[in-house]
Amino acid sequence: MRSSRYAFILAGGVGSRLCLLSERRAKPAVPFGGKYRIIDFTLSNCVNSGIFDIGVLTQYRPTSLNQHIGTGRAWDLDRSRGGVQILQPALGSIQSDWYQGTADAIYRNLIHLRRRRADQVLVLSGDHVYRMDYDVLYAFHLANRASVTVAVTEVPEDAVSHFGILEADPSGRVIGFQEKPRTSVSRLASMGVYLFDRISLVRWLAEDAGHSQSSHDFGKDLLPRLVARGEGVFAYRFADYWQDVGTLDSYYEANMAFLGDHPPLDPSDPDGVVHTQSADRPPVSFQAGARAGRSLIANGCRVSGTVERSVLFPGVSVAAGAVVRDSIVMHDTVIEREAVLDHAIVDKQVRIGAGVRLGVGSASTPNRACPEHLSSGLLLVGKSAELPDGLTVGRNARIGADVRAASITADVPAGGVVNGPDAMH
């Protein structure tokens, strides 16, 4: 009987370095590129590679992700057999509990392999922006008779400390694996894309589950152990664009990279269309007097003012006299007359009052609440916040979700923090 393909997508990540953007949604559900969510890239890679049987593992704030995936219709994953299934942490059997680590999450869902005929199991991360034909990965894996193949990409020397770094011999066999090393001779980073031989995976996960000192994570525990004892671990070198959008700065820059004439990845490439849940929105309406340059503007937007070097998600309205510059503005945010946005990341359904100025002054004061993530001059406005007319907000500031206009009584200085009614931290 022909083997079929099955993929697990790990989508439970907290994404704490994305600060407000992932405060109320899992990182894979964070909007990206003017109409997508980060997980769209991985889901689309699957269907474009002929994988139509997928389990998405969720844990942290899954509502937004569940809503986005729905029945899977946008990806042609609403099927009678296979399709997409959300695999949530559950109670009810001896193996029930919150997922402890990535390996543990898969371990607790091995039941889903039982009636499937997949000889290999693809384990993916829902956190990355890239386009990959997993077919090629399967071919590499089979040609090398690997027990597990890890897709790797070359990263700059100063970035090795953010990734799992692999060392491979000329045949592609992995001979070293370090999770987030301070320095390394190798610059091959794990992309969070693993293709396992099914029998090996089941054996290794059961074995790892028995290690009381393990944190049950693929990168921290399982892979280093497999490499150390000489299992058939191979590295597949991926040369195209791959972006981890784990920090606010990398998130911002990755979005901006899509503005140029030559974006790193063309979402409409017929060989790899990026699919997403699209609402029924009319075309972008540019009014008399509108100005726009070097921007991505999605259906449902209404532009009367000026938009430069910015990404506007569906349904954003920019009133006459307003200026949006070097900013990312998510769904259905309303920008009133004469407001000016500079280097702002504004979440969904925000109301920015007339004459509001976002991103004024110096970038040298980091944010008071999250100085390590918000210090490069960007500013953040959380979902459904209301900014009163005439408000001025300095760089590196953070305005929480659901903040009411009446509760902001003074301008917000650089690095300032305004917490929403039920702030998480």
Partner 1 sequence: MSVGRRIGGPILGACVSDVVALVLSGGGGERVSVLSSERAVSAIPFGGKYRIIDFVLSNCRHSGVNRIGVLTQHAPTSLHDHIGSGRPWDLDARDRGVMILQPYLTRGTAGWYRGTADAIAQNWDLIRDLGCSRVLVLSGDHVYRMDYRALLEFHAASDATVTMGVTRVPAEETHRFGMVTVDGEGRVAGLIEKPDRAETPFASMGIYAFETAALGAALREGAVDLVADVLAPLARAPRGVRAFEFEGYWEDVGTIGSYYRASLDLVAARPRLALDDRSWPILTRDEERPPVRVGDGARIESSLISNGCRIAGTVVRSVLSPGAVVGADARIEDAVIFQDVVIERGAEVRRTIVDKFARIGEGATVGGPGTAGPRWLEGLVLVGKDGRVPADARIEPGVVVGVGARPEDFAPGLLRSGAQLANHTWYGEDE
> Given the rule CB under 8 A, which residues bind partner 1?
33-35, 259, 261, 266-268, 273-276, 278, 280-300, 302, 307, 311-313
CB of 275 to partner 1, least distance (A): 5
Q: Closer CB to partner 1, residue 123 or residue 298? A: 298
d(CA 123, CA 54): 10
Q: 386 and 403 in contact (C-beta within 8 Å)?
A: yes
Q: Closer CB to partner 1, residue 34 or residue 353? A: 34
Q: Closer CB to partner 1, residue 306 or residue 375? A: 306
Q: Closer CB to partner 1, residue 289 or residue 421? A: 289
Residue 52 to residues 42, 65, 288, Cα–Cα distance (Å): 12, 18, 46
Cα 107 to chain centroid, rounded: 23
CB of 47 to partner 1, least distance (A): 11
Residue 293 to residues 32, 259, 264, Cα–Cα distance (Å): 19, 10, 19
CB of 352 to partner 1, least distance (A): 20
Q: Closer CB to partner 1, residue 245 or residue 403? A: 245
Which residue shows structure tokens 């790797």? 152
Structure-token pair, residue 70: 């729905």
CB of 302 to partner 1, least distance (A): 7
CB of 146 to partner 1, least distance (A): 34
CB of 292 to partner 1, least distance (A): 5
Residue 179: helix, strand or coil by DSSP?
A: strand
CB of 326 to partner 1, least distance (A): 14
Q: 164 and 178 in contact (C-beta within 8 Å)?
A: yes
For residue 252, the one-letter residue type is: Y
Q: Closer CB to partner 1, residue 156 or residue 260? A: 260
How would you label 17-27 residue by residue, b for 16+ Cβ within 10 Å and e otherwise?
bbbbbbbbbbb
CB of 68 to partner 1, least distance (A): 15
Q: Closer CB to partner 1, residue 22 or residue 295? A: 295
The Cβ of residue 30 has, within 10 Å, a number of other Cβ atoms equal to 23
Structure-token pair, residue 423: 């702030």
Q: Closer CB to partner 1, residue 67 or residue 183? A: 67
- Quote the DSSP letter at residue 275: P
d(CA 425, CA 144): 48
Planar angle of CA 385, 396, 39, nearest 5 degrees: 65
